[in-house]
Amino acid sequence: MDILRFLTAGNVDDGKSTLIGRMLYDSHALLEDQIQAIARASKSKGLPEDEIDLSLITDGLRDERQQGITIDVAYKYFHTDKRKFIIADTPGHVQYTRNMVTGASNCQLAIILVDARNGVTEQTRRHSYVSALLGIPHFVICVNKMDLVDYSQQRFEEIVADYRAMAQSMSVQEVTFIPISALKGDNVVHRSSRMPWYMGKPLLQHLEEVPVTDDLNYELTRFQVQYIIRPKDDRFHDYRGYAGRMMSGTLKVGDAVMVYPAGMMTTVTGIELGGQPLEETQAPMSATLLLADDIDISRGDYIFKPEQMPAIVNEVEADICWLDQKPLMQGGKYWLQHHSKKVQCRVESIIYKTDIHSLQAVENQPFLAMNDIGRVRLRLAEELCIDDYRTNRATGSAILIDSATFNTVAAVMMRVKS
C-alpha cells in the first residue's frame, strides 16, 4: 500500500483543522475513546450534546485550543483500504509561514483552502507560491464553507477563475478544484446532494486515486557520507566502511564511482545494511559502502557515478524563504547546511524579492524580511556538489543557519545554470 504525504494550508479560519477532523471522523479513522475525548472538550466549550468540534482533533496544543488557531505543524496519520496518508496541518497566520514551509518541504500534494465568502486572498497566493516553489506536483483547491454561500455554483466558478488567473505565473503542475463544506461534510468523504452541479470526485476519493509521484530522483546517483566506520578490533583490522544515505539514484556492487572532493575513481566492493550484505541500494535508504581503494574521505563528502557529475560550485543562485525576524541583508554571513555538509557563505546580492500580491520580481531590495520570498546569490567558502532543485529536490535543497544564534533562518532551493 503506497503513502501519500499532503499538507493543508490556507488563511486562519478557512477551516483546515475542521476539514482534517471531518476526513478522519467520516472515514472512521478515529478510535472511540478519541471521539469521546473530543465530545467532552466540545461540551466544555458550550456546544450542544449532539455536536462535536472536529477542529479539536488536530489543534492539539493548549494555546491552539484556547485561540482556535493552528500554530505548529500538526501531523496526522490515517489510512483507507486503498492508501496510507500523512497529513501536515500547517498554520494559517502569516507569522507562521515558516512552519508552513517546514510542513510543505516533503509533501506530494497541497490542499489549499479558500473561504467561499472571501475568495482568493494574500495567504492563498503565498501558500500556493511556496508550495509551487518547493516543487509540490499536485494541488487541490478546496473552496470551503459552501454552506455559507448557499452552495452557489456561480460563486465556486468565480473563485476557480480567479485562482487560475493567479496561478498562471506559477509553476503549478496540476490543479483540481473541489467545492466543500468541512463543517457539514459536503464533498469531503461523501458526495454532496446539495451540490448536484459538481460532477467531480469528493476530496477523499481524489486523494485515494491521485497518482503518487515520488520526490526522489532515481536517475542521478548521489551518496553523501555521514560517518566513517573503523572498528578497533583485530577481526576487522582493515575494515573501512562509509556510512551514509542514498540521496537519489541507485548503487550496485561493482559500480565505478567517483569520490569528491578527493577526485579519485574507485569501485564499490560491498554494500551493507545493519551488518548484512546487499547487492544494491537505492534512495532513500541508508547504507554502508565498502570501496576498493583507501581514499581520504570525510563526513559530508560525495560519492557518485562519474558519468553523472553534479554541479560543483562555489557561487550559487537560490530561491529562498526567509524565516527569521532578523532580516537578511546583502553581505550577511551564514552557514549553508547541505545535508551532512556545512559551509560558510556570504550573501553576494539580493537579485529580487517576489511581490506576493502581483507575483512579480521586485529588484533593488536592500533586505528580505521574515516570510519574504526572493532570489539571492551566495558565495561559498568552499566548493559544494549540488543539483538544480527542479530536477533533484534531495540535492538541490539546503538551509541557511545564522552563524551567531545557530537558528535556521531560510529554506534554500538552489538553481544550476544550464
Domains and CATH numbers, the chain: 3-209 (3.40.50.300), 222-304 (2.40.30.10), 311-415 (2.40.30.10)
Which residues of the chain are under the pLDDT cut of 70?
Answer: 58-74, 91-100, 103, 213-216, 418
Main-chain dihedrals φ then ψ at residue 79, nearest 5 degrees: -145, 160
Torsion of CA 402, 406, 411, 413, to 10 degrees: 70
pLDDT at 92: 53
**pLDDT tens track for 171-229:** 777 899 999 999 999 999 999 999 999 999 999 999 999 987 666 678 899 999 999 99
pLDDT at 59: 58
pLDDT at 53: 81
Q: What b-and-e string marks burial along 333-347, b requiring 16 or more CB atoms within 10 Å of the CB?
A: ebbbbbbbbebebbb
| CA–CA distance, 303 with 269 (Å, rounded to integer) | 14
Q: What b-and-e string marks burial along 61-92, b requiring 16 or more CB atoms within 10 Å of the CB?
A: eeebeeeebbbbbbebebebeebebbbbbbbb
Cell output for 357? 500580491
pLDDT at 410: 92
Contact 333, 403 (CB under 8 A): yes
Give strand pairing partners of 271.
278, 289
pLDDT at 214: 63
Cell output for 144? 470551503
| CA–CA distance, 51 with 71 (Å, rounded to integer) | 25
- On average, the pLDDT of the chain sits at 87
pLDDT at 74: 64
pLDDT at 219: 86
Main-chain dihedrals φ then ψ at residue 168, nearest 5 degrees: -60, -30
Residue spans of beta strands (DSSP E) within 187-235: 222-229
* Amino acid sitting at position 183: L
Contact 183, 16 (CB under 8 A): no
pLDDT at 152: 97
pLDDT at 62: 43
Contact 82, 208 (CB under 8 A): yes
The CB density around residue 310, as the number of other CB atoms within 10 Å, is: 20
